[in-house]
Structure 1
Amino acid sequence: MDYSIREMKPEDWETVAKIYKEGIDTGKATFQAEIPSFEEWDKGHMKICRLVACDGNTILGWAVLSPTSSRCVYRGVAEVSIYIGEAYRGKGVGKNILTSLINVSEENGIWSLYSAIIRENSSSIALHKNCGFREIGIREKVAKMPNGIWHDTVLMERRSKVVGI
């Protein structure tokens, strides 16, 4: 598969939202139940480090960062969100875009990335481990899905070897 990774643009939102919805529909990618508006989504994510994987005009997946705190001491710590379109999962797109996100985050002074992954999402856990993240803990029954089922999250972290050392 031949594709490139580029910066996400606001006009990508419609396709990004569709891929996000596919993740929601799995029941193990997010606790989000509905797609937010672009404005709402945009407010919650950093303006830097927003990537999409594209094959021509087709967006295959996306990855972005969210701040973990408004306190200045945590300016180099961010939470990863990564979603791959259903048709492109298991083809290396996730590894390539997450690796690119790591590189771009380090170029922007981010020294620590973390993810809170629903325990049943074994493919995302494996992807993160494959990209240098380590498991740092489990949050038991941290959130309840709209269907009433409680889920644990696996906390994963990647500390930069080039930024903040």
Structure 2
Amino acid sequence: MTSHQVTVRNASESDLPFIQTIYNEGIEDRVATLEADPKSLADILAWWSQHTGTYGVLVATEADRVIGWASLNPFSHRCAHAEIADLSVYVARSRRGRGVGYDLLQSLIQVAAENAFHKITLHALNVNEAGKRLYRKAGFVEVGVFRDHGRLDGHFVDVVAMELLLQ
């Protein structure tokens, strides 16, 4: 998928340092994840090894530079949840608010449908207004709020559960 000079494609191992940088920006910014510590390239390689088959990783590029990434992740390892995926979407700090996340999300939804997933879920920090707007724009609906669901900078924060039915 391509728009405003951004191309979305399957990630390759050579993209991992860029994925690491973008994810660490998300950790530093304190609105997209409860992770507290930056991830090493070894951490990202371990994560990458778990994303094969139907659990793919996409990157958004602009002028051949990775500016965002998205992944489908197992919702659960129970067989009853085999047709449900969780997702992650991260955009480079310098490219946020320009439609890159939407392009990634639309492409990821297409990949999930092609892989016969029934539903995609996500958990967003309640303070992540931009993220929640993005997900609503793509058709996700809020299905609940986990109160005081994790610590961020020493304080409990709420986490919003959202989902998109594909079939």
Give the TM-score, by structure 1 length: 0.91
- Does 2:130 align with 1:127? no
- 1:75 and 1:55 map into 2 onto residues whose CA distance is 34
- Residues 19 and 61, structure 1, Cα contact 8 Å, conserved in 2: yes
By how many angstroms is 1:43 displaced? Answer: 4.7
Identify which of 125, 143, 146 aligns with 1:136. Answer: 143
Partner of 1:12, secondary structure, is: helix
Identify which of 71, 76, 97 aligns with 1:69. Answer: 76
- 2:122 and 2:146 map into 1 onto residues whose CA distance is 12
Q: Deviations over 1:119-151 (max 9, x none)?
A: 000000000000010000000001012x21111
Instruction: Look up the equivalent residue of 1:19 and give its one-letter code.
Output: I
Aligned residue runs from structure 1 range 34-45, under 5 A: 34-36=38-40, 37-43=43-49, 45=51
Moved more, 36-45 or 20-29: 36-45
In the TM superposition, structure 1's runs of 4+ consecutive aligned residues that sit over 6 Å from their partners are none
The change in CA–CA distance for 1:46 and 1:30 in structure 2 (over 3 A counts) is: farther
Moved more, 117-126 or 56-65: 56-65
- 2:51 and 2:159 map into 1 onto residues whose CA distance is 20
Q: Deviations over 1:34-87 (max 9, x none)?
A: 215123322554543310001132111000011011122211101110001111
The equivalent of 1:156 in structure 2 is 162
Aligned residue runs from structure 1 range 56-135, under 5 A: 56-135=63-142
- 2:52 and 2:150 map into 1 onto residues whose CA distance is 24
| Structure 1 residue ranges without an equivalent (≥5) | none
By how many angstroms is 1:160 displaced? Answer: 0.4
- 1:31 and 1:2 map into 2 onto residues whose CA distance is 32
Instruction: Look up the equivalent residue of 1:31 and give its one-letter code.
Output: L
Identity among equivalent positions (%) equals 31
- Residues 117 and 124, structure 1, Cα contact 8 Å, conserved in 2: yes
Work out the number of aligned pairs and report it.
160
- Residues 16 and 45, structure 2, Cα contact 8 Å, conserved in 1: no
Give the TM-score, by structure 2 length: 0.90
Instruction: Look up the equivalent residue of 1:13 and give its one-letter code.
Output: L
- 2:34 and 2:52 map into 1 onto residues whose CA distance is 20
Two-structure CA RMSD over aligned residues (Å): 1.4
